[in-house]
Amino acid sequence: MNHTTDVLIVGSGVAAAAIAQKILTKDPLKKITIVEAGSKVKMRDFAIHQNYLVTGNLPYEFCQDKPYPTKDSTGENESLGRTLIPMQGSRLMMYGGSTVHWGGWSFRLKPEDFKLKSNIEKQINKLQGHYDLIDWPFDYNELEPYYCEAEHYIGVSGDSNDPTVPRSQDYPYPAFPYTAEDKPALAALQSLQLKFSHMPIARHGISASDSIHPPCQTTGTCKYCPFGARYVAANYIDDMLQYRDYPNLEVKTGIVVESLIMSGKNSIKGVRFHDKNISETKSFELRATTVILAAGAIESAKLLLRSIDAYWPNGIGNDHDLVGRNLITHPYMMFEADLPENPDGLMPEMDFPTLVSRHFDSETQQLMGKYIIVNPSSSIGTRLANEMQSGKPFSVIKDEITGKSKIQLHVLIEIFSQYENRLYNASKRNHIGLVETAIDFDQGPDFNPRVKQVQADIEKIFTAMGAKNTRLKTISWRADHAACTTRMADTPDKGVVDKNLKVFGVDNLYVCSNGSFSTLGAVNPTLTLTSLAIRLATHLNNNVFAQVKPVVVKETV
């Protein structure tokens, strides 16, 4: 690996891929190095796909966190707070990052999400908890053109006539149609006059575009797509390396970045790392003119925290003790009810949802936490293939399919930042070689009352379907959408990075991850992250690289 580079990107997920692509499109000769701690798993491979079909084993399962330690298992990471935030399954530490297993849901935040504090601060005394709220340092209109570019970059299929959010360009691909499985939920939402729409999803559709990525074939195996129709950062990085003339783009796996190296209080000169391909213990240095942390909300914050030196005794960017704090995620709730019969034999058709309601993702709901309702891809009935493989006779299968059935609706809900909710570096290393994560989190006093309100809303929808016995089946606080740990703000006493994602007080260090979100809203963060990545790359191209020639940073004496 080269010892110097123009741009160093730590992490290889969607943010890294989008930033590199945008920079290299303008300057194909720019020297960019992407480093990834994990390994590479081959994508778009039919042999691997066939093995997955037969065994059900995903080829990247070893890239997940292990469960928390128990009396019977050493496990990984530490949960210290009153609310458990599971790490296992929430992310992938590998080439391509968590886009390798994500669902592809591609929502925009709504205009009110950028003004959370302004919108609710006059009513905040109605809540019991103590929340550290801020607004984004810019509004929806500033990000809107980058949302358009991001939707085209990751290949989103959606309804361009959906009025849920303002848009200046159509989606690149038409929406996937509602399925027969959506019929009960659709009818109920319509009867209750609740707004709904097609799920915007990063799966290439059929269009006149010149994309090299094939359209979705609806194989029902989205966790490992053999065609590469769903956006996966690994495929896009591969494309840059194989099909584009970018001679100075370098991607290295097995690189565990230990700390950032400063040449002064206000300038970073590179990173210190271990190369697992060479040695688990020997330390190396890589110098860079610009450094971008795109390793996710968890690892980016931890790297800043453990980069302690004379200039930054509490960790880089942490003079105000904000790095790793204000941690939030999305509680994911599964509600279930009983239908007396399923006469149409409705059953799962695809491996992704096509119906979503953002009716309660509105400014009127913002004080208590907005939420979306998703009709999941297994909302009703049973999977016919599983029943046939079980050896049951047709008559039994028919009765099971058309008889009494359980039906589900899933909810993703917004929560607010609390200063005491935080993450930091633990004392051990995980099986990838990264320092383990310690999480201290408490859901707060307002969450359970909000769940009761949500359940009452969901019960009305189930009742309109003819279903009874509404119940909350599970709540998962998993760290899939961890955010706000290096949040963006107007001033360093409120956040870690400025509106251009530059760490306050450091001229050439940026953080582009969900951690840089000021607030999270009620929706999957990936499209917003991609938009921020493209916006950052545009800023660097127009305002940084255009004015400053690459130089070797000299250490201050």
- pLDDT one-digit tens code per residue, 118-134: 999 999 999 999 999 99
pLDDT at position 393, please? 78
Residues of the chain with pLDDT under 70: 1, 207-211, 381-389, 548-557
Question: Listing from the earlier edge strand, what are the strands of the sheet with 332-339?
Answer: 197-198, 355-357, 371-375, 405-413, 332-339, 468-476
pLDDT at position 557, please? 43
DSSP 326: S
Question: Do residues 476 and 332 make contact, with C-beta atoms less than 8 angstroms apart?
Answer: yes
Please check whether residue 251 lies inside any domain of the structure: yes
Which tokens sit at 346? 């409705």
Q: Is 298 exposed, middle or buried (0-12, 13-18, 19+ CB in 10 A)?
A: buried
Residue 14's domain comprises 4-65+74-104+135-157+202-330+481-547
Element (H, E) at 428: strand 422-429
Please check whether residue 289 lies inside any domain of the structure: yes
User: Sign (positive/negative) of CA torsion 449, 452, 454, 460?
Assistant: negative
pLDDT at position 30, please? 97
Buried b (16+ CB within 10 A) or exposed e, 388-415: eeeeeeeeebeebbeeebbbbbbbbbbb
Question: Backbone dihedral region of 282: left (phi > 0), alpha (psi from -120 to 50 degrees) or beta?
Answer: beta
Please check whether residue 394 lies inside any domain of the structure: no
Give, rounded to a whole angstrom, the gap between the first and last alpha carbons of the chain. 28
Question: Backbone dihedral region of 366: left (phi > 0), alpha (psi from -120 to 50 degrees) or beta?
Answer: alpha
Please check whether residue 356 lies inside any domain of the structure: no
Q: What share of the chain is helix, strand, coil (3-state, %, to 5)?
A: 30, 20, 50
Number of domains in the chain: 1
pLDDT at position 386, please? 66
Q: Which amino acid is at 36?
A: E
Please check whether residue 25 lies inside any domain of the structure: yes
The CATH number that applies at residue 246 is 3.50.50.60
Q: Is 294 exposed, middle or buried (0-12, 13-18, 19+ CB in 10 A)?
A: buried
pLDDT at position 385, please? 63
What's the rounded Cα separation, in Å, for the pair 131 and 113?
16
CB half-sphere exposure, 557, CA atoms < 13 A = 0
Which tokens sit at 413? 């809900």
Question: Backbone dihedral region of 193: left (phi > 0), alpha (psi from -120 to 50 degrees) or beta?
Answer: left
SS3 526: helix
Please check whether residue 553 lies inside any domain of the structure: no
Residue 491: CB atoms within 10 A of its CB come to 11
Please check whether residue 255 lies inside any domain of the structure: yes
Q: Which of 131, 117, 79, 77 is nearest to 420 (CA)?
A: 131
> Which segments of 221-328 does DSSP mark as H helices, in order?
233-243, 296-306
Please check whether residue 325 lies inside any domain of the structure: yes
pLDDT at position 226, please? 86
Residues 6+ positions from 266 with CB-CB distance below 8 Å: 505, 506, 507
Give one DSSP letter per residue of 363-393, joined into a string.
Answer: GGGTTT--EEEEE-TTSBS--HHHHHHTT--
Question: Do residues 228 and 235 make contact, with C-beta atoms less than 8 angstroms apart?
Answer: yes
